[in-house]
Amino acid sequence: MTGTSTGGGDWAGTGQRARSPRLDAQARSRGTVFGGAAELYHRVRPRYPEAVYEWIGEILAEAGLTGPGRAVDVGAGTGLFGAGLRARGWEVLGVDPDPDLLTLHPDPAVLGTAEDLPVASGSASLVTVAQAWHWMDPEAASAEFRRVLSAPGAAVVVLNQLDVRTDWVLRLSRIMHAGDVYRPEWRPELTGMGPVRTGEFRFTTPVTVDEVVALAATRTYWLRSDERIRARVEANLREFLAGEGLELAAASGAVDVRGQTEGEPVVYELPYVCLAYAAAITPPASSPQASPPRGR
């Protein structure tokens, strides 16, 4: 497979762990706070690496699917993940509870939740969830995924997150209040399907300090904070990236200031890791026909 899965190793010093999704109504409602920053979210959130789409294709091929078909992208937001599927020939339907995010969605899209999908049974060969699994009730969502999937098919959960195994990125994520970071050994509870397969894909995306501040402004912590807290977070980010953070990033090879023109913004190669999880549904094996009784 294209992806690799790693254990604890260099995650041990990060102090990060994945927590179980909070299922109370107030916590779930936070999944709809992004609409007020929809355009900013669409502009600054990182896209997904090519390798994860190739990996999904391999998973589906092993399950017996010969080509792209219909995909339901759940928690689709502005369609960032679905765009990569569409580019590979998939017919993508986006589903999200936030109407403001869906106004920027390029594909057909409908309002809905993972626990109550407005999709016909057996109508899709792929269900995807990118950056949204933590807002969902795993058991109810899995039941809906099984209902809408045909066989062969698969449910896929994808997480782009800052690669906090790099020291300056770990410190940056804490200033941003970037939320829980999932270690690769974590598994989503995709119940009633085949075993969960895993993939891990590292990549970087170029950002300036202003773009890091904009990225922080799309985080739940920022969106639910008052102006005083937002100003403090921005000041801390700018101070860190102008001083110690810049030195640490340069030492790690994430920025090269030697050829920097005076007044030109510093560009950081911000490390990310894309974690992917897939559970397939395969057609039931046909029962061998019984041999007719032999004549005497």
pLDDT one digit per residue (tens) for the chain, 296 residues = 334 443 334 655 555 544 443 434 444 444 445 555 778 878 888 999 999 999 999 999 999 998 899 999 999 999 999 999 999 999 999 999 999 889 889 879 999 999 999 999 999 999 999 999 988 999 999 999 999 999 999 999 999 999 999 999 999 999 998 766 787 789 999 999 999 999 999 999 999 999 999 999 988 888 888 999 999 999 999 999 999 999 999 999 999 876 666 778 999 999 999 999 999 998 876 544 444 444 43
Q: What is the pLDDT of residue 190?
A: 96
- Residues paired with 197 in a beta bridge: 278
CA 241 – CA 254 distance, rounded (Å): 12
The backbone torsions φ and ψ at residue 44, rounded to the nearest 5 degrees and listed phi first, read -105, -20
Instruction: Tell me if 104 sits within 8 A of 79, measured CB to CB.
Output: yes
The reported pLDDT for the residue numbered 115 is 97
Distance CA 241, CA 166 (A): 15
- CB count within 10 Å of CB 241 equals 23
Per-residue confidence (pLDDT) for residue 85, from 0 to 100: 97
Q: What is the pLDDT of residue 283?
A: 81
The per-residue pLDDT for 260 is 65
What confidence score (pLDDT) does residue 185 get?
82
d(Cα 285, Cα 260) in Å, to the nearest integer? Answer: 62
- Find how far residue 256's CA is from the centre of its chain: 29
Model pTM score = 0.84
Instruction: Return the CATH number of 9-163+179-204+272-281, one of 3.40.640.10, 3.40.50.1820, 3.40.50.150, 3.30.420.280.
Output: 3.40.50.150
- Give the model's pLDDT for residue 51: 98
Q: Cβ distance 192 to 36 under 8 Å?
A: no
H/E stretch holding 159 reads strand 149-162
What confidence score (pLDDT) does residue 282 get? 85
